[in-house]
Chains A and B, each alone.
Chain A
Amino acid sequence: MKSILTTLAVAGTMALGSVTAVQAKGQGLLDTIIERDSLLCTGHNGSYLGFAEVDGEGKWQGFDIEFCKALATAILGSPDKLQIIPVSWAQRFPSIQSGDIDVIIKVTGWTMTRDTELGLQYSRPYFIGPFYVMSKTELGAKGIADLEGGVFCVNAGTTVERVLTDYMETNGIAYESLAFEKGEELRAAFYAGRCDAIAGFGPFLSATRVNADNPDDFEILGDVLALEPEGIVTRQGEDDFMDVINWMVSALLMAEENGITQANVDEMKANPPSASIERLLGVTPGVGTRLGLQDDWAYNVIKTVGNYGEIYDRTIGDGSRYKLPRGMNNLWNNGGLHYPLVLD
């Protein structure tokens, strides 16, 4: 008899539990993160060179990881309150739908299906990624058309798979594609010569090239497959959280535009040269509370990770071993596509 009662009780609690869970959904993600006191951000299942890679000591580093740190600092005041969850390309959307992670910062292209049918919400682009093709120098290809009939390796479940298909169909080039779940296997296959070319992000390709035994063996072709704006992604309907993300990106850009760096941010805060910088660094009270954050959130972010330019430089730019030019990821006044929003 006892066992019947127990089973019934368990079943009852389950049913009740589901109801309370639904009620808990009323609370915004931003509040949940603050309550939990940690941010769950994406890593990679292996290494995506330059953006999310694991060093010899098992520490995460890279462009996307820096943005995870910046976001954790903005919300919780410290980059240590960040948990990097390794997920594959294919798992990132199921993971965010299920609540395993709070935010996807994983150079995720802004596409219509994702925006509408997957129940996702995109931030303003924090990175502009042109897709290129990298092939072996020994093949002597000048453009993609010269690789007719070749094997192209791509990351499975990414926009590259579709962009490449479109491009090849439009230009009538016969080819074979080979998709891998993990960056490690993709690179290993390419280095070994299983594919003639890799299609992917410019930065990823450069990183792969630099990482090769002899970088001169590989060459990134001039043809651009497509241009993709990369956004930070969270679940649909988390407007407060999305505000924080957008303004965090904007603050990093604004800091660069105004010459605020990790090194001089304290000085800037002590003697702000303009009223907008006063607002940015939280000297004027009330700026942070509008976002539901501390007033000095942007100061903390810059103090921790530096401005946009510094992050770029450290992870994939001149300060890193990949030495990628800024190109269209520069600020608007340096010939790029990025600009800060107006902080009034």
Chain B
Amino acid sequence: MADAMAPPARQMGAIAWLRKHFFNTWYDAIFSIIFAVLIFWGLQALIGWAFVNAIWRVENKNQCTHDAGACWAVIESRGRLILFGLYPYEEQWRSTLACFAVIITIALSCLPRFWSIRRLPLLWVVGFGAFVLLMRGGFAGLPLVTSEKWGGLSLTIFIFSGVFVIGMPLAVVFALARRSSLPVIAKSTGFFIDIVRSLPLLTILFAAAVIVPLLVPEWLQGSKLMRVVVAFAVFFAAYQAEIIRAGLQSTPDGQAEAASALGMPYWSLVVDILLPQAFRNTLPSTINQAVITFKETSIVTIIGFFEVMASGNAAIGTGEWGNQYIEVYVFLALIYFVFVFGLSRYGAWLEKRMRLGHA
């Protein structure tokens, strides 16, 4: 057994604070020094590369030597290709507007005011609809731009929001079916969900792109982009269904029993009582799933879509800017980071709020 400890020392003032946080024990001190050096060195190198020694504009790309610092001129010269992909040059303002429509939709749906089982779907249908109309055109003098030409960030956003709009209702159906008291329906839904979850997203999307047309009648095929979005939505739904199921399970049985005792019909029970609570309880996981989905949209680059990842690679695929690959990848990473970090911070904030019992 240990000896009796001395009474704790007075812990106040800067030195005590430093001691507590950095030099608690001898190995803490060593780690602190190592990490301090590491952080200092990393920051210095980063700032030197990205700002101090960076070249922002060039007349001639040969001015970009890739030794000293970043050459951000590549973004100036190739930025529009990265952001808009194959979208017609003169119409790119539409692509920008469309992106804002979806970003505003995402921002609005983060506000608790919109958290209702009727308002939220409506908001998304309007936002998504505006996006598609703007991108596609073909009315009011806007030239038609078919989905083969969509590209860059707006394609990424389209895939993300399309997956969300189609996948969310699908996830609810899957979750309810898996929770069904009818064994055949519950078991086969469970089997389907488990299979989908054990397949890589890429193989599902590949199958949707090349196999589905062989298996379904022509009128059901749609364009390749639509098929891929629907397949992605099914994948998303298989994951989201499990989250919703957990939420449904966390609502006390008594509530459902009380509702049926009151003679509430099944759909009203689901829509008015179970789902709102299930969603509310699992909001952080849902946002986490949205974050993962946003990142995974980058996978479609492999099956031949010009989303932001592919157009970024196209920007450095020519010899002209081939050496500025780090700049382009950092630029792409920043684009993803802004979306994903924002969403995940929001999720963390919600989680905290819920733990305090506000949500």
> A residues touching B (Cβ–Cβ < 8 Å)?
14, 17-18, 20-21, 24, 45-47, 54, 56-60, 83-88, 91, 94-95, 97-100, 181-185, 187-188, 191-192, 208, 211-213
Contacts and interface: CB of A to CB of B under 8 A. Distances in A.
A21 B219 contact: yes
B244 to A, nearest CB: 20
Contacts of A87: 304
B313 A46 contact: yes
Nearest to A93: B210
A86 B151 CA distance: 11
A20 B218 CA distance: 9
Given A84-B148, A100-B224, A20 B217 contact: yes
Contacts of B319: 187, 191, 208, 211-213
Contact of B209 (A60, A91, A182, A211): A91
A58 B224 contact: no
A65 to B, nearest CB: 12
A208 B320 CA distance: 11
Contacts of A191: 319, 322
Interface stretch (B43-51, B81-89, B192-200, B280-288): B81-89
A56 B217 contact: no
Interface residues of B, number: 43
Contacts of B313: 46, 182, 184-185, 188
Which of B87, B151, B212, B303: most chain A CB closer than 10 A? B303
A17 B317 CA distance: 44
B138 to A, nearest CB: 13
Contacts of B149: 58
Contact of A98 (B80, B88, B210, B325): B210
A245 B224 CA distance: 25
A277 B224 CA distance: 42
A17 B303 contact: no
B310 interface: yes
A86 B148 contact: yes
Nearest to A18: B217
Nearest to A95: B210
Contacts of A58: 81, 84-89, 149, 151
Nearest to B77: A56
A45 B81 CA distance: 14
Given A45-B310, A184-B313, 16 more contacts: A17-B220, A20-B217, A21-B218, A56-B77, A56-B81, A58-B85, A59-B86, A86-B304, A94-B211, A100-B213, A185-B313, A188-B313, A188-B316, A191-B322, A211-B318, A211-B319
B130 interface: no
B204 interface: no
A95 B209 CA distance: 8
A24 B323 CA distance: 52
A229 B84 CA distance: 36
A184 B319 CA distance: 10
B148 A47 contact: no
A47 B320 contact: no
Contact of A45 (B218, B220, B304): B304
A85 B303 CA distance: 12
A17 B151 CA distance: 33
A46 B322 contact: no
A192 B78 CA distance: 20
B320 A86 contact: no
B251 interface: no
B111 interface: no
B314 A94 contact: no
B268 to A, nearest CB: 16
B73 to A, nearest CB: 14
Interface string B139-180: 000000010110100000000000000000000000000000
A192 B66 CA distance: 13
A187 B304 contact: no
A46 B86 CA distance: 10
Q: Which are the 9 A-B pairs with shortest beta-carbon distances?
A: A184-B317, A98-B213, A21-B217, A94-B210, A45-B304, A57-B89, A212-B319, A17-B217, A58-B86
Contact of A56 (B78, B87, B221): B78
Contacts of B209: 91, 94-95, 100
A99 B320 contact: no
A191 B322 CA distance: 8
Contact of B221 (A45, A99, A188): A99
A44 B203 CA distance: 20
A100 to B, nearest CB: 5
Given A188-B316, A213-B322, A99 B148 contact: no
A75 B318 CA distance: 34
A181 B148 contact: no
Which of B81, B218, B310: most chain A CB closer than 10 A? B218
